[in-house]
A and B are shown apart, each in its own frame.
Chain A
Amino acid sequence: MDILQKLESPTLREEIAAGNGLIHRRALLRGALLSAGVAAASAGIAQADDGVGADAPDWMKTPGRPFSAYGMPSKWQEKVQRIFTIGPGRAGTGVSRTPLQLLEGTITPAGLHFERHHNGVPDIDPARHELFIHGMVKRPLAFSLDTLMRYPMETHIHFVECAGNSGAFSSPQPPQITAGELNGLLSCSEWTGVKLSTLLAEAGVNKEAKWAIAEGADAAAMSRSIPLEKCMDDAMVALYQNGEAIRPEQGFPMRLLLPGFEGNMNVKWLRRLNLTDAPVDARDETSHYTELMPNGKARQFMFLQGAKSAILKPSFGMTMKGPGLYEISGLAWSGAGRISKVEVSADAGQTWAPAALNDPILPKALTRFRLPWRWDGRPSTLMSRATDETGGTQPTRATWIAQYAPGQGYHFNGIQTWGIEADGTVKNVYA
């Protein structure tokens, strides 16, 4: 099935919202486009003859499969896979990306959540794993998984985004790769766990403590310095992802979740939190995830993932099937809070129309935006620009690039652009 469906509705009165065919989002909110589509479809049903089932598909004429202990996606969806290449000699080190352009809605299936591992996925026996909290605390404590299950829990939907996500936009030429290859170090889940502030209150944080040094139980003992303010705010020791125990690739049996902060700090397989009065300059907060500026100095401790958006439909790899009505759809997110606005342009940023934002619009979570577009078949340039509730928004790529040394690719949140060619192909362009 082509993911890029055309919505035809000859009777619809289209209200133009911006240049080059962008239609007002009211059309979507009313459901006008959808109901027109349904009417057209129901008119095409063939008349049944008197042999019941003669025209029925095979799967209506034989019993289906039995139950399964853990369901898997349809075999017709076998191309929906995480995207990765294995580096030489380091099978468990590197990244796999979420195929964003093949998914809909806002929740990432757990098995498609992006991965960043520094030395493979550990196989942790939950009965032998404890979370240690020590350092500048009054009562150093250990918490087993069973123990944490007794604690009050919270459930929140949040994205996790790698600091290196979309780093390919720092390339001098626009890479011709899919939206998932560009932006797929980004996933969004419903996380359930224990507020870290609850555990820290039990340990009794000393007043000189300013940081918590988090450490994972993987074969890299991944370590990051976390500001205490974040630990006492919305940080969580997450135990569940989308209703089931966290997947091994995401930190089973427990991970640190720091909503809106760069992915690397959300330490998986969380084993230890050492309260200190200073950061440790861990490898991953010095040699990695620091932003080189044109003068060769580097910004350190840039934790927050900025306001950002990407159009996924249409996107590279898809082909527009001739002029007509299409739905532009994508994702917007910000580490600072809720998305308040997503604007879409079909004329390279000359005019913009506000997109419809699908509920729920949650802080530090992916938000789905949509806008109808009547494509006239001529070359067009699509852009999206997100704004969050703190006023944070996306700079142009050129403005973003100008802040940094050439090639600096961490924390990219510039405006992304797809070029639609007359033959319907979609290309990544710099505008």
Chain B
Amino acid sequence: MFTPRLACLFPLAAFFFVPSVCGAQGPNLGRPLTPEEIRKIDITVVPDGRGLPAGGGSVTAGAAVYAKACQSCHGEKGAGKPQDQLTGGVGTLASGKPVKTPASYWPAATTLFDYVRRAMPITSPQSLTNDEVYAVTAYILSIDGIVPSDAVLDAKSLPRVKMPNKDGFISWWPKPPR
């Protein structure tokens, strides 16, 4: 009844690892997921835009969302206090007191959308609609002029937003750069 260890036949695994680290054969009891179930749980967004939902939102609409859901923690226009500052900080990274904001540090606009959608506002996470998340993302990016004040962000335009520190990261996986 034993079937071959699939993990060990898997080409990538075979390339990187010796067979002894492969997991044991399981009893194959996983419950198949339906496409509908996956649609409900899959909120992953890749920086190239894959995974972004339908809908969209404007800077103007985002200002209203921000005032309602964000400002009490993040201050007026993202100035911070009591929680993280969301704007400014450009030029502080090597100063010893870096202010890490989307404008100064975050490499991808999708990260802001993704983080707000999964984790904010902190007292009622995942309570905003996709339109509201697009809108508040547009508003926060507009404060630093990363998007214009008449911007509307959606699945097409969000991944095209050029973040100021896009080239500020050097990947050390799987190896340090030469």
Report which A residues bind B (CB closer than 8 A). Answer: 88-90, 93, 118-119, 130, 132-135, 139-144, 147, 150-152, 194-205, 207, 210, 213, 215, 219-221, 223, 227-229, 232-234, 271-272, 274, 276, 278, 280-283, 286-287, 290, 292-303, 405-407
Contact = CB atoms under 8 A, between A and B. Distances in A.
A407 B26 contact: no
Contacts of B119: 118-119, 219-221, 283
B26 A141 contact: no
Contacts of B110: 280-281
A192 B75 CA distance: 45
18 contacts: A118-B119, A141-B31, A142-B32, A199-B30, A201-B5, A201-B25, A204-B6, A215-B118, A219-B125, A232-B12, A272-B41, A280-B44, A280-B114, A282-B115, A292-B94, A299-B169, A300-B172, A302-B172
B23 interface: yes
A133 B44 CA distance: 13
Contacts of A207: 11-12
Q: How large is the interface on B (under 10, 10 to 19, 20 to 34, 35 or more residues)?
A: 35 or more
B98 interface: yes
A283 B115 contact: yes
Given A134-B42, A141-B33, A280-B47, A406 B12 contact: no
Given A141-B31, A198-B23, 7 more contacts: A134-B42, A197-B21, A201-B25, A219-B125, A280-B46, A290-B169, A407-B98
B67 interface: no
Nearest to A196: B23
Nearest to B14: A232
B111 interface: yes
Contacts of B129: none
B145 interface: no
B33 A142 contact: yes
Interface of B: 5-7, 10-13, 16-17, 21-33, 37-38, 41-48, 73, 82-83, 93-98, 100, 105-108, 110-111, 114-115, 118-119, 122, 125-126, 168-174
A203 B10 CA distance: 12
A292 B93 contact: yes
A405 B16 contact: no
Contacts of B122: 90, 93, 119, 219
A281 B47 contact: yes
A283 B101 CA distance: 11
A197 B94 contact: no
Contact of A281 (B17, B41, B100, B111): B111
A296 B93 CA distance: 5
A119 B32 CA distance: 31
Contacts of A152: 23-26
B105 A286 contact: yes
A151 B32 contact: no
Contacts of B96: 405-407
B12 A140 contact: no
Given A199-B26, A276-B44, A286 B169 contact: yes
